């Protein structure tokens, strides 16, 4: 994905940082040296200290930018939540909303992708105050495939 991102950045006359990438960098700015658990293609964010050598983490960055079935997405996120995160872990989840599919109908799901994704994440991280960013009516003028525009930022609080 890094090559695709760099190709898209060259579309502009001046070097540009995509808004969604800058948000991620800003989120981790003060804690870039903290070991950060990761999932997906995070190679563009070289300043963040990615690691998979610890059992638990205070930071987590998950990127889902590939075709994935909804229940597998939920299981993957929940697995990391229970096995990798400490109480009050700093979490960033980025999802390409156009690459999620479901094999079964969900009568509780709303028709709008953005609200449905927010509901999905907030149901996994109940009680967390989630900052959510997306591009309404995405029409190809944002680069969702190089860097997902659906983003969730929060501190995960373990509910006892």
Asked, for residue 105, whether it belongs to a domain, the answer is yes
Question: Does residue 142 carry a pLDDT above 50?
Answer: yes
Q: Which residues are paired to 87 by β-bridges?
A: none
- CA 41, 67, 75, 28: dihedral to nearest 10 degrees? 30
Asked, for residue 31, whether it belongs to a domain, the answer is yes
Asked, for residue 114, whether it belongs to a domain, the answer is yes
Q: In whole angstroms, give the CA distance from residue 123 to residue 9.
A: 35
Return the beta strands (E) in the chain as ranges: 37-39, 57-64, 68-69, 85-95, 100-101, 131-133, 150-156
pLDDT tens per residue across span 83-129? 999 999 999 999 988 888 988 766 666 667 788 899 999 999 999 99
| Nearest to 6, CA basis, from 148, 149, 143 | 143
Q: pTM value?
A: 0.87
Asked, for residue 75, whether it belongs to a domain, the answer is yes
In the chain, the number of structural domains is: 1
CATH of the domain at 27: 3.40.50
Q: Which position has the token pair 């690459």? A: 99
Asked, for residue 37, whether it belongs to a domain, the answer is yes
pLDDT tens per residue across span 40-98? 999 989 999 999 999 999 999 999 989 999 999 999 999 999 999 999 999 999 998 88
Asked, for residue 145, whether it belongs to a domain, the answer is yes
Rounded to the nearest 5 degrees, what angle is found at the Cα of 111, between the Cα atoms of 96 and 64? 15
Number of alpha carbons in the 13 Å side-chain half-sphere of residue 98: 15
pLDDT band at 146 (very low <50, low <70, confident <90, very high): low
What residue numbers bound the domain in which 51 lies?
A: 18-156
Instruction: Give the model's pLDDT for residue 108.
Output: 65
pLDDT band at 1 (very low <50, low <70, confident <90, very high): very low
Asked, for residue 106, whether it belongs to a domain, the answer is yes
């Amino acid at each position: 994905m890094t090559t695709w991102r760099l190709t898209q950045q060259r579309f502009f006359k001046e070097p540009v940082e995509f808004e969604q990438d800058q948000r991620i960098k800003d989120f981790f700015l003060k804690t870039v040296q903290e070991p950060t658990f990761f999932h997906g293609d995070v190679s563009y964010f070289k300043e963040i200290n990615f690691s998979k050598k610890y059992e638990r983490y205070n930071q987590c960055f998950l990127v889902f930018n590939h075709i994935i079935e909804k229940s597998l997405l939920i299981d993957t996120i929940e697995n990391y939540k229970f096995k990798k995160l400490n109480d009050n872990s700093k979490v960033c989840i980025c999802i390409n909303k156009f690459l999620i599919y479901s094999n079964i109908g969900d009568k509780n799901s709303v028709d709008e992708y953005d609200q449905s994704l927010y509901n999905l994440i907030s149901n996994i991280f109940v009680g967390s105050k989630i900052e959510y960013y997306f591009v309404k009516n995405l029409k190809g003028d944002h680069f969702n495939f190089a860097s997902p525009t659906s983003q969730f930022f929060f501190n995960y609080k373990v509910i006892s």
